[in-house]
Amino acid sequence: MRWTFGEPPLDQTVELAAVLRRLGGLALTMEYPSDDVRRLITQLTDAERALVASAPRATGPRVGADADPDGRVYLDHSRDIGAFNPAFPTYAIAVEGDHATGSVEFPVLFEGPPGLVHGGFLAVFFDAVIQHHNCDVGVAGKTTRLDVSYRRPTPLLTPLTFEISRAADGDRIGSTARLLLDDKVCAEATMEAIAGNRSGLPTVSVRRPPP
């Protein structure tokens, strides 16, 4: 059974994340001030003011017995976080038991050195895809260790592939992953996690009905 914890994102949230990621990348490529960017800033600032009026009063998520009832909904972070949060990468993954494969292409938003992916984002990527794999298998838990080895520069805007293997021993989960450009390894990661117990998970408040 797939592991989930939290509410699914709204379709609007997914759509907005993709737009914001594209807009952010385009803004980073501008050579000089643009009237279009200035208009966009004005529109987004107006939208921000409007959203603040309808956003939850408390900033914490409604998770656990003592959660603030005025808090925000907690979205499921078990998989595909980038689909609703533009700060995370998007990817495709296929899971077959203890092995998984997939593809990813990093946009300009994740640039570090010229034309290359920032190493910190590669760590985020490995954490996301390895835990996605664990959640799809049905046994997941908190990350206790993540080691990333950078073998060669990882290019932006380039189709890449990845491979993951996992093994569980009692309540311990160990995973290894590789990110590749063709047959060349760009980065490798090893992760250790403690398997969670579904019955011990705190309660996540469901979405409130619209007013």
What's the CA gap between 34 and 44, in Å, rounded? 15
Q: What is the pLDDT of residue 43?
A: 97
Q: What is the pLDDT of residue 140?
A: 85
Is 196 a residue whose pLDDT tops 90?
no
What's the CA gap between 108 and 102, in Å, rounded? 20
Is 1 a residue whose pLDDT tops 80?
no
Domains in the chain: ranges and CATH: 11-200 (3.10.129.10)
Q: How many C-beta atoms surround the C-beta of residue 84 within 10 A?
A: 21
- The pLDDT tens digits of the residues spanning 27-81 come to 999 999 999 999 999 999 999 999 999 999 899 999 998 999 999 999 999 999 9
Q: Is the pTM of this model over 0.95?
A: no
- The pLDDT tens digits of the residues spanning 68-79 come to 999 999 999 999
Q: Is residue 59 a contact partner of residue 72, using CB atoms and an 8 Å limit? A: yes
The residues facing 83 across adjacent strands are none
